[in-house]
Structure 1
Amino acid sequence: MAKTISILSVSTLSSLGADGTAVWQSYLNPETNIHDMEMGGQAVSVAALSENLKHEVEALKHSEHKYIHLDDSVLYAILASRKAIEQAGWGNDSTFGINIGSSRGATGLFENNHSEFISTGKTNVHTSPATTLGNISSWVAHDLNSSGPDISHSITCSTSLHAILNGIAWLNAGMADKFLAGGSEAPLTPFTIAQMKAMKIYSSGGDEYPNRAGDLSKTKNTLVLGEGAGITCIEVGKAENALAYISGYGYATELLSHGVSLSAEAECLQKSMKMAIGDTPLHEIDAIVMHAPGTIKGDNAEFTAIQKIFGANLPQLTTNKWKTGHTFGTSGILSVELGVLMLQHQTFYWPALFR
């Protein structure tokens, strides 16, 4: 890597909470954050925001008239971004780039507006600007009064991690000194749930742990959706107030045999891990926060990929989706947050699912 990159803050909004201390305490609690929500006339396992956080979102929505028409995915990102720059100590005079992405985007707002169109043949004047891909970053830039570049993208579940990669590219290129990067997702909608169920990967619930992420012995798929946002502030150099440093990164693309395929040995994960590790001795890697969505093929393919890289000397493996559900584009930042929390507390996090 050309330059040292400091992580100055990680601010998240999820079923775990919205404060680092509260998030860590939630992780230590052996109970899952997943519960049933009525959707489409049936109970569905989800990892939703707490009522207190929902009130915060609602208060933001009504704090300015122009925010009333925004999707929850945008509102989540605004709240998390405000806290991220506060934690990083970036003042109003700071110039920074913004890259916040989403897998689903404004799906709740789009579903409501489309339903209105089907029944009336008309739609709200705010539909187009409020459901475009660039909607999240542009509104965060507006809210923070940022003067740097603002970019949006969607790379499915790795969206927020690609946002960090993109930020690093800008920093290494000398085109920016600071970048705010992350993802936001509000996918707890009937249509989104229906899509996951159509793929035969959604949890049927009824268990103490509806999502069994990382359990390689499970006999059924247990994916559960969650919601939230995650934002990190990164900048060039070894900052004294850094939470952690990024010393390597990797990326790769899976060759698809169909729309949602993953090879049995997850070749793309192997390539990206090798790139991220670089010359670092394998024995210096203490832990891996797995993506582990809770599906049979997905979890096993990822574990096989890790075995291919590390052989019999595996690092400690952990995951958080048994708590948070799968938050799509936000999931990568939640994994980064867990890694930073383990560093801060000098404690490996062992999921209660396996205790």
Structure 2
Amino acid sequence: MNDTVVVVTGMGVVSALGCSTDAFWENCKKGVSGAGLIGSFDSALFHSRIACEASLFDPDVRIPKKQSRRLARFSQFAVYAAIEAVAQAGLDIASMDPSRIGCLVGSAAGGYDVLEEQFPAFIRNGPQKGNPFSVPKTIANMASCAVAINLGITGPNFAILSACATGGHNLAIAKMMIQSGYADVVIAGGTEAAVTPMVVDSYGCMGVLSTRNDDPCRASRPFDRDRDGFVIGEGAGIMVLESAAHAKKRGAEILGAFSGFGMTCDAQSIAIPDAEGRFAAQAMRLALRDGGVSRDAVGYINAHGTSTHANDLTETRAIRLAFESAADSLSVSSTKSMIGHTLGAAGAIEAIACVLSLRDNIVPPTINLENPDPECDLDYTPGTARERKLDYALSNSFGFGGQNCSLLFGKA
């Protein structure tokens, strides 16, 4: 366990519940669903016709138009959220050594929207008539690069890609980078804009998306007996992380402590999680060990909670394995019930939810949990938010390929 304390000083969110951290959190506490019929393309023939889209997003509010036009939607999300996070952190980059500021912003999918738009044009028009920005707009690390370009950051810049654990892994490696002494500040998180025809169709054909198309707001129902798949979402979550010493030296407000992380791999299947949750449980144990925190100290877990049969059951088993008798004292919830599954952004947005929970001593709800699954037997905070004194919160993220990442946060 490294002695360097890493803290959160800024946060930014783009989501179906709003395009600011405050809007996202206020709607989370109210139990608002961000789901609706897909508006970005005609989904009439698809298995699933619903999504949690960031319909209020307007890049021009924060990003210069010339720059914005050269960015895919997932990169726009990242820059937009990073600008909010840096402003909240009071980070005056112009007065700092920009080479001591890192940027790690990942995306599981990257610019699928650009690929799906440009490929038919290429087939139709042939070579030498393509869009020269197609490749740089598409590649998944471009969101991290776009943040650095917008903010003038010259330190280490790259993107960790690990499916739906992407956001969590980028934050974990950012913490490691600060603790190693390689950077004083790292802007980190995840972003995703994968509500596109090919992605939605592919997930639909896998059978992992909800087909409750006549009732979108009630479709995402983690841990419910009648769950039938996740609702795809989009958005971004960005944190400003720095050493506590650096934050105090510049007089920054500390929003929370990034206490620990754990990372494992099931090494079993490209899509199916380990049925007993053994390696997900180990990721949670490692996060607690990294933070020097006992099981009993954790009051809240923001679950991966996708609303698929396999994930919710496996995660329940994993939490019981990791926390043993302390599992019955935990408050657990899935904010995916409100914002959908934002894939590569999920771990970062949900980490922000943990910091806000600790700040306000409020556990956000799992909405649509109306008929509890008897095999999912934890306290999932059904229906409405709950006040609870919290000292530590854990955020779980699990991804295709058996990727497991758990992040531990403590009060400021």
TM over 0.5: yes
Cα distance, 1:69 vs. partner? Answer: 2.8
Q: Report the Cα distance in structure 1 between the residues aligned to 2:43 and 2:258, rounded to whole angstroms.
A: 46
1:68-217 maps to which residues of 2 (within 5 A)?
Answer: 68-91=69-92, 92-94=94-96, 95=98, 96-122=101-127, 123-205=130-212, 206-207=214-215, 208-215=217-224, 217=225
Q: Report the Cα distance in structure 1 between the residues aligned to 2:7 and 2:52, rounded to whole angstroms.
A: 30
Worse overlay, 171-180 or 232-241? 232-241
Cα distance, 1:24 vs. partner? Answer: 2.2
Cα distance, 1:66 vs. partner? Answer: 4.3
1:1-355 maps to which residues of 2 (within 5 A)?
Answer: 1-2=1-2, 3-38=4-39, 39-42=41-44, 44-51=49-56, 53=57, 56-58=58-60, 63-91=64-92, 92-94=94-96, 95=98, 96-122=101-127, 123-205=130-212, 206-207=214-215, 208-215=217-224, 217-218=225-226, 220-237=227-244, 239=247, 241-257=253-269, 259-278=270-289, 279-314=292-327, 315-353=330-368, 354-355=382-383
**Does the CA contact (< 8 Å) of 2:12 and 2:20 recur in 1?**
yes
RMSD: 1.8
**Does the CA contact (< 8 Å) of 2:174 and 2:188 recur in 1?**
yes
Q: 1:242 aligns to what SS in structure 2?
A: coil
Cα distance, 1:351 vs. partner? Answer: 2.6
Residue in structure 1 matched with residue 394 of structure 2 by the alignment: none
Residues 297-316 of structure 1: CA distance to partner in whole angstroms, max 9, x if unpaired? 01110111001122243211
Q: 1:352 aligns to what SS in structure 2?
A: coil
Cα–Cα, structure 1 residues 31 and 140, in superposed 2: closer, same or farther, change >3 Å?
closer
Residues 318-352 of structure 1: CA distance to partner in whole angstroms, max 9, x if unpaired? 11011100000100111111111111211222333
Corresponding letter in the other structure for 2:147: V
TM-score (normalised: structure 2): 0.80
Cα–Cα, structure 1 residues 60 and 7, in superposed 2: closer, same or farther, change >3 Å?
closer
Corresponding letter in the other structure for 2:261: Y
Q: 1:156 aligns to what SS in structure 2?
A: coil
Cα distance, 1:59 vs. partner? Answer: 5.5
Cα distance, 1:58 vs. partner? Answer: 4.9
Corresponding letter in the other structure for 1:290: A
**Residue identity (%):** 24
Cα distance, 1:60 vs. partner? Answer: 5.7
Q: Report the Cα distance in structure 2 between the residues aligned to 1:235 and 1:30, rounded to whole angstroms.
A: 31
Cα distance, 1:64 vs. partner? Answer: 3.7
Q: Report the Cα distance in structure 1 between the residues aligned to 2:340 and 2:31, rounded to whole angstroms.
A: 15
Worse overlay, 297-306 or 264-273? 264-273
Cα distance, 1:79 vs. partner? Answer: 0.6
Q: Report the Cα distance in structure 2 between the residues aligned to 1:60 and 1:101, rounded to whole angstroms.
A: 20
TM-score (normalised: structure 1): 0.93
Gaps of 5+ in 2: 369-381, 384-412
Corresponding letter in the other structure for 1:244: G
Q: Report the Cα distance in structure 1 between the residues aligned to 2:11 and 2:43, rounded to whole angstroms.
A: 37
Corresponding letter in the other structure for 1:67: S
**Does the CA contact (< 8 Å) of 2:33 and 2:337 recur in 1?**
yes
Q: 2:181 aligns to what SS in structure 1?
A: coil
Q: Report the Cα distance in structure 1 between the residues aligned to 2:359 and 2:21, rounded to whole angstroms.
A: 10
Q: 2:165 aligns to what SS in structure 1?
A: helix
Q: 1:202 aligns to what SS in structure 2?
A: coil
Cα distance, 1:18 vs. partner? Answer: 2.5
**Does the CA contact (< 8 Å) of 2:6 and 2:241 recur in 1?**
yes
Residues 259-289 of structure 1: CA distance to partner in whole angstroms, max 9, x if unpaired? 2121112222111111011142211110100
Q: 1:188 aligns to what SS in structure 2?
A: coil
Corresponding letter in the other structure for 1:27: C
Q: Report the Cα distance in structure 2 between the residues aligned to 1:333 and 1:66, rounded to whole angstroms.
A: 24
Figure out how many residues of one structure are paired with residues of the other and give that number. Answer: 348
**Does the CA contact (< 8 Å) of 1:107 and 1:189 recur in 2?**
yes
Cα distance, 1:103 vs. partner? Answer: 0.3
